[in-house]
Amino acid sequence: MKLKFYISILLSAITCICFAQQRPHYSQYLQNMDIINPAVTGMFKAVTVKAGFRNQWVGIADAPKTSYFTVHTPLNLDGSILTAGSANYGVLEPYTRSDKDSYESSESHHGIGFTALNDKSGPINRTTLNLTYAYHIMLGDIANLSIGAGGGVSRIGLNTSVLNFEDPNDPVVAQGQEINWSPDVNVGFYLYGNQFYFGGSIQQVVKEKLTFGDNFGQGSEIPHFFLTAGYTVWLGEDIAITPSVMLKYVNPAPKAFDFNLKAAFRNNFWLGGSYRTKDAYAILAGFTISKTMDAGYSFDKTISPLKNINSGTHEFVLGFKF
Side-chain half-sphere of 299: how many Cα atoms within 13 Å?
7
User: What is the tens place of the pLDDT at every residue in 144-172?
Assistant: 999 999 999 999 888 877 666 666 665 55
The one-letter code for the residue type at 163 is L
Q: Which residue has the higher pLDDT, 185 or 209?
A: 185
Q: Where are the domains of the chain?
A: 2-321
Q: What is the average pLDDT value for the chain, to the nearest integer?
A: 84
Query: Element (H or E) spanning 50, and its range?
Result: strand 48-55
312, 58 Cβ separation under 8 angstroms: yes
Q: Which residue has the higher pLDDT, 228 or 217?
A: 228
Band of residue 15 on the pLDDT scale cut at 50, 70, 90: very low
Q: Answer whether residue 142 shows pLDDT above 90.
A: no
Band of residue 22 on the pLDDT scale cut at 50, 70, 90: low
Q: Answer whether residue 79 shows pLDDT above 90.
A: no
Q: How many Å apart are CA 218 and CA 220, to the nearest integer?
A: 7
CATH annotation of 2-321? 2.40.160.40
Q: How many Å apart are CA 140 and CA 148, to the nearest integer?
A: 20
Q: How many Å apart are CA 199 and CA 111, to the nearest integer?
A: 16
**DSSP-based three-state secondary structure for 151:** strand
Q: Answer whether residue 293 shows pLDDT above 80.
A: yes
Per-residue pLDDT, 7: 46
- The residue among 244, 237, 291 whose CA lies nearest residue 268 is 291
